[in-house]
Amino acid sequence: MAGSSATAPQTAGSSDRLWGGGYGEATHPLVLRMNASVSFDRRMWHEDIVGSVAHATMLSECGLLGADDYAAILGGLRAIHADILAGQFAWSEAREDVHMNIEAALRDRIGAAAGRLHTARSRNDQVALDERLWLRRQLAAILERLAGLLEALGRSATEHHDWPMCGYTHLQRAQPVTVGHHLLAHATAFERDAARVVDCLQRQDVNPLGSGALAGTTLAIDRARTTELLGFARPSRNSLDAVGDRDHLAEALFCAALGSTHLSRVGEELVLFTSAEFGYVRLPDAFTTGSSLMPQKKNPDMAELLRAKSGRVLGDLVALLTVLKGLPLAYNKDLQEDKEPLFDGLSTWHDTLEVATPMLAAARWQKATLLGALDRGFLLATDLADALVNAGVPFRTAHEQVAALVAQLAEADKTFRTLGAKAIAQRLTLTEAQVKEVLDVRRSLRLRDVPGGPHPVRVRKEAEGLLERVAELRVQARRWAWPCPAERLLAG
């Protein structure tokens, strides 16, 4: 085990060494420990077996693997797959990684025939393949999570399409919008996140198997066949690039970092809006925690973690980019360090999406508090200036007049409502009827009838359109998640 001083040296000729020769001394225990990656890369076990099934099938069809050996290999891989699923597989750090563990187990199970599986294959193109297969499955799951989050936002936006609330700039009350419009702003960002995931899936839809260690193989293999069996769109164009770069992983982590940043903004708003100072939203007890000392506290810990975990995912992206920086072609052992940030970043993004969805669906907006904040924030000041413009006053003059009125009211701790329409009309040379119209927040929202604006009808239609696009996104997620032909062969 990692960190154990009892790890025995691996001697030349050890049964755990699957290839290589000419070793005159034992491998140092610290080298074994540092070189081992099975503790984290074994999560790709399913993809490793699927890749081997596709490779063995192609070798058999090309006459490079006899029928009996192919049957033995396929049967052995199926048995190992079943053992791992059942939790009955013994992982060994001495066997270094997921690939050697499975190949060695196959050798233990079926004997010499297992040695034919690695024909025309390197561990370099094998790991590149496993990562692409794993990434495809994970991004498909993330697409499904994004669809769920978008559905929750769309349904809440529909329900609150005409609920007025303060819109903010600089975290200062600015102009009125609706709760639905606010929620759809976040949804728009999450839709872009989903589009980036689809783009990443399409760009990484390439089969590296057959690239070998770096220069392909002299054996007559059929890369088009493994591409078909593994469900890829095309084989890789350059063997050096296929085994030596990881930009598709960096792109996936960028998607995760930016998606997590969007989630962190939601988390921050929930922290603010659920505070007593705002009181706009209440979260159910299921998504809050108590204080070890203060009996009255209900803390929005899940919202705070949405905010915090974005930093962790950003760190994963920076870690991977730093590993890739300056690497010469083709494969280098540095690339072993691509997996931990990849696994952590995508798993963290997936988990935060999973918790954000029911939390946002269960959030309860407080109508009375939202309306009270509108009155206190002078949010219709711009509407008053626009009314003066309609009466022929230059905008800059109108702006100065309304700003002066707001300053006087703030100093006197008054609002437009407490001063009254008649007094406002006298100060701004408007009619009382004009001022009453202007100070109607629902009328203000209705006047903002432009594409992308907060008019309640437009908000409702946009929410309905979002829910339609969610259905399309789920179709995309299922498309990428469907089992490839090699998986169906594995299942028998």
Which listed residue (4, 5, 170, 292) is catalytic? 170
Q: Is 399 labeled as catalytic in the residue annotation?
A: no
Residue 370: other Cβ atoms inside 10 A: 22
Which listed residue (15, 39, 275, 291) is catalytic? 291
| Residue 201 CA to its chain's centroid (Å) | 13
Q: Is 81 labeled as catalytic in the residue annotation?
A: no
205 by Cβ neighbours in 10 Å (0-12 / 13-18 / 19+) ranks as middle
The 10 Å CB-count burial string (b at 16+, else e) for 407-446 is: eebeeeeebbeebebeebbeebebeeebbbbbbebeebbe
Angle at 450 between CA 444 and CA 454, to 5 degrees: 50
**Residue 453, phi-psi category: left (phi > 0), alpha (psi -120 to 50), beta (remainder):** beta
Write the CA distances from 26 to 3, 9, 114, 417, integer angstroms: 19, 6, 25, 85
- Which residues have a catalytic role annotated? 170, 291
